[in-house]
Amino acid sequence: MFKVSKLWPILALTVLVSLFSVTPSFSFLYDGLHWDDSDLPVAWEINQDGTADCTGEFDAIRAGYQTWENVSGSYFIETYLGTTSDGLGYDGHNVVSWGESEGGNTLAVCWTWYNTITLEIIECDIEFQDNRTWSSTGEAAKYDIQNIATHEFGHTLLLGDLYGGGDTEKTMYGLSSEGETKKRTLHQDDIDGIRHIYPESGNQTPNTPSAPMYGLKLSVNSSVSTVI
């Protein structure tokens, strides 16, 4: 039995400024969904149409997932299979595409299908919204593809959005703005998140909490030391 979940659309920065004052800061957010070891490396494809806004979008997307794959202390790995005509929809393929499934201030969204009993992920699709103007070079008046891709691939690891005033420098901060590129580089809290879910150890088993984890701070020996 499986279920689909639309996870954490990233929004334009102008939308939720009130969150600065009402939302606490956490290190990272994880609710227990995970890829099974047998599904690694997770295979990704990119829709062949890309975006008409710029060139270099395919390389920018790949750089986004490679940022997470390059984290030391985690065994999570992904691989790129090439382009495809597939797009958003449950079909057994993990696909990044451009489309218009969302309205309002959404920049991109990650859809995840998962087993409701084991919490193992079956498929993830990422869709960048075509009603935005995109760039692969961080242009001031456009949204940076690698910036948003790195954030969205964090969702495919099942890290959640953060909205606290102390979260603004993190890749998993859920708001973005034109010309922003800082999400390309992981904050230490983002790194702690992937290391917690997919710890590099002799027993490579994802850590799966029984309830949503709000920012468990990890100590050197990977046990919980502080909750913030």
What's the sign of the alpha-carbon dihedral 192, 195, 196, 201? negative
pLDDT at 128: 95
Give the pLDDT of residue 2.
57
Q: What is the pTM (predicted TM-score) of this model?
A: 0.83
Task: Return the pLDDT at 125.
Answer: 94
Write the pLDDT tens digit of every residue in 126-182.
999 999 999 999 999 999 999 999 999 999 998 999 988 889 999 999 999 999 999
164-176: per-residue pLDDT in tens?
A: 888 999 999 999 9
More confident of the two residues 51 and 204:
51
The helix or strand, by DSSP H or E, that contains position 42, with its residue range, turns out to be strand 42-47
pLDDT digits (tens, 9 = 90+) for 2-46: 555 555 555 555 433 433 444 455 688 887 889 999 999 999 999
The values of phi and psi at residue 166, to 5°, are: -90, 5
As a residue count, the chain comes to 228
194 pLDDT more than 50: yes
Q: Is residue 143 packed enough to be buried (19+ CB in 10 Å), middle (13-18) or exposed (0-12)?
A: buried
| CA–CA distance, 66 with 53 (Å, rounded to integer) | 23
**Residue 49 to residue 45: CA distance in whole angstroms:** 12
H-helix or E-strand spanning residue 122: strand 121-129
Q: Which domains does the chain have, with CATH numbers?
A: 2-227 (3.40.390.10)
> What pLDDT sits at residue 104?
81
The overall average pLDDT reported for the chain is 82
